Amino acid sequence: MSDHHALDAFAPLLNWRLLKGSHAFPGPDGGTCINEAAMVAAGLPYRAITASEDCPPCFSRPLAAYALGLNDAMPEAERQGLMAFVLRLSGSADAPAVEAARTAFLALESARRILPPLLDAAGLPALAARCETASDAGAARVALRAAEMQGGALSHAAAGRHAWIAGARASAVSRTATAALRAFDDPRSAAEVAEGAAPFADGAWPIALGLLDAALRIGRQAPEIDLPSARERLEAARAKVQP
């Protein structure tokens, strides 16, 4: 396939509009979450996805959960970046040990890469350095618990001074550290780390997309989906009359 034809084939994937939440059927412009779009592209029976457990068994549960969390947390303009992964989710399911490694990766790298800029913005550079250099999950958890406590204390102090902006940053530190701790058990919470940091630290969403890309490279790779076939499926779904 020539470069020109490859771009023509990929265009419907890029033009599919991702929306927050689950959707009973695609709309004329797409109108689904990323996991629903991935089902359409792979030719799987369509269903509304409210949680990763709703995805077909061939979808990696941690990756689907993280993608869904990003889908629902991202602003409209940023959300469309998830379409780069639409052909990589179906067929990504792997053995429990691999799925556990993916979950651990998303949690640890969110603590190392997404939280530190927020900590710097809140005036906690030493804690930012601890998160950034955490050698393993244990070290990250210790730093994250400290961030929970220090963020809460700073937020309380800022409220007493009516320093609302500083208080909002500090409160985000505490909430985001809590989400990062939960992420070691729940990959969807890793998306909440980016959601909490994004208003106060530039680049959180691109980093989060980079983490999804890296996590998809752990373990089994999704089988290659023929672009023209994916295009036909997406176009056919968009053309259907809504009930």
Domain ranges of the chain: 1-93+222-243, 94-219
- The answer to whether the beta carbons of residues 218 and 102 sit under 8 Å apart is yes
pLDDT at site 66: 98
Q: Which helix (H) or strand (E) holds 187?
A: helix 187-197
**β-pair type (30-32, 17-18):** parallel
State the greatest distance between any 2 C-alpha atoms of the chain, in Å, as a whole number.
64
Residue listed under structure tokens 């009516």: 162
Instruction: Specify the DSSP class assigned to residue 183.
Output: T
Place of tokens 């989710």: 89
Identify the three-state secondary structure at position 170: helix
Rounded alpha-carbon distances, angstroms, from residue 242 to 166, 231, 233, 234, 239: 47, 19, 16, 15, 9
Q: What is the pLDDT of residue 23?
A: 83
Task: At 187, list the tokens.
Answer: 């990959």
Give residues with Cβ within 8 angstroms of 157, minimum separation 6.
170
136: DSSP letter: S
Q: What is the pLDDT of residue 161?
A: 76
Backbone angles phi, psi at 90, to 5 degrees: -70, 125
The DSSP output letter for 18 is: E
pLDDT given for residue 160 in this prediction: 74
Instruction: Find the length of the chain.
Output: 243
pTM of the model: 0.90
What pLDDT, on the 0 to 100 scale, is given for residue 6?
Answer: 43
Q: What pLDDT score does 1 carry?
A: 43
pLDDT tens, per residue, the chain with 243 residues? 444 444 455 555 667 889 888 888 887 778 889 999 999 999 999 888 999 999 999 999 999 999 999 999 999 889 999 998 999 999 999 999 999 999 999 999 999 999 999 999 999 999 999 999 999 999 999 999 999 998 888 777 766 777 778 778 878 899 999 999 999 999 999 999 999 999 999 999 999 999 999 999 999 998 888 888 888 888 888 887 555
Q: Which residue from 61, 43, 44 is spatially nearest to 52, judged by alpha carbons?
A: 61
- pLDDT, position 10: 57
